[in-house]
Amino acid sequence: MLEQYIEIKEEVKKALDENKAVVALESTIIAHGMPYPKNVETALEVEKIIRDRGAIPATIAILDGKIKVGLSKEEIEYLGKAEDVYKVSRRDLPFIVSKGLNGATTVASTMIIAKMAGIKVFVTGGIGGVHRGAEESFDISADLQELAKTNVAVVCAGAKSILDLGLTLEYLETFGVPVVGFGTEEFPAFFTRKSGFEVDYRIDSEKELAEVINTKWDLGLNGGIIVANPIPEEYEMDHNVINIAISEALKEAEEKGAKGKKVTPFLLENVKEKTSGNSLESNIRLVYNNALVGANLAIELERL
Ligand code: PSU
Ligand code: MN
């Protein structure tokens, strides 16, 4: 039944059939997270890093209503340039698919599609979370609910402090989502290695990570797991610079009344502008770093 909607690229299908390591990648970061042409260059380089480690990359998006698992170079190029690409989270999926439109997938929808395809590991930059002021706005990313129910491990560099990181971690605890620090005791804040918040568990190797994930799912404990992998020290941003940019972006979002699915892209764009090229370079480097861990993790999971 699903075949009517999903198209899995040949090399991805082959790898899945042969129980080889596959790593899912999202496309909101390409269409809405970075400017052209850096977005396309980054997406292609991430795929290369994963391939060089011996795993198969599967970038996920919706093109003309088809759910694509694994994209060609041309398709990635299209997503990076086009203006008609919707940001697609769980609630948007049926509309974009049935209307035959183009969509870039968020963490939530990439997890859903990865699960449908049988992919266990997904690499991204940062996850969505509980927004600052959520006690009034109720703005909590659908990514968190997805992490609570869908069996995919998500490798990220934590979450940006455009969010309320404390509330995000509380929410994840309530919904039983393990937050693992990869080589760290502290939850990383995307651009910086530290946030002032502790993770639940520190794990130092991909093999150990794979064992924990496998055990979780063997026990029937559904849901994802967050592998929080801090940005390498040499690419970390200055705490002051990034914090000031984030406060200003938040103020502007409030003044302009940004709402709903536009909030996150508005804040991301604004922070990027306020830090010029600096934050973009950090962003790219942390994704590369996550790609490496994700590929290693996918390989370890297949060995078990
Ligand atoms: N955070 C980032 N970069 C991103 C996103 C979040 O630092 O590109 C994107 C991801 O695709 C994430 C989505 O799943 O934004 C969350 O959007 P929202 O807050 O509207 O759920
Ligand atoms: Mn939101």
Cβ-based neighbours of 80, under 8 Å, separated by 6 or more: 30, 31, 36, 37, 39, 40, 43
Measured CA to CA, the distance from residue 228 to residue 209 in angstroms comes to 11
Atom of ligand 1 nearest to the CA of 283: 7
Read off the tokens for 214: 């496998």
136 among known catalytic residues: no
The verdict on whether residue 87 carries a ligand-binding annotation is yes
Q: Which of 9, 13, 160, 216 is catalytic?
A: 160
Between helix 38-52 and helix 277-303 the angle, nearest 10°, is: 30
What's the confidence (pLDDT) of residue 276?
A: 76
Nearest alpha carbon to residue 69 among 79, 80, 57, 78 = 57
ipTM confidence score: 0.99
Cα 41 to ligand 1 centre (Å): 20
Q: Which of 9, 13, 26, 272 is catalytic?
A: 26
Query: How would you write the pLDDT of the chain (304 residues) with one tens digit per residue?
Result: 899 999 999 999 999 999 999 999 999 999 999 999 999 999 999 999 999 999 999 999 999 999 999 999 999 999 999 999 999 999 999 999 999 999 999 999 999 999 999 999 999 999 999 999 999 999 999 999 999 999 999 999 999 999 999 999 999 999 999 999 999 999 999 999 999 999 999 999 999 999 999 999 999 999 999 999 999 999 999 999 999 999 999 999 999 999 999 999 999 889 989 987 788 999 999 999 999 999 999 999 999 9
Measured CA to CA, the distance from residue 237 to residue 233 in angstroms comes to 9
The verdict on whether residue 142 carries a ligand-binding annotation is yes
Domain ranges of the chain: 2-303
> Which ligand has an atom closest to residue 144 CA?
1
Q: Which residues are found with C-beta within 5 Å of the ion, ligand 2? A: 139
* The domain defined by 2-303 carries CATH number 3.40.1790.10: yes
Phi, psi of 205 (to 5 degrees): -135, 155
**CB under 6 Å to ligand 1: residues?**
26, 28-29, 33, 89, 106-107, 125-126, 128, 141-143, 160, 190, 261, 264, 268
9 among known catalytic residues: no
Nearest CA to ligand 1 atom 3: 126
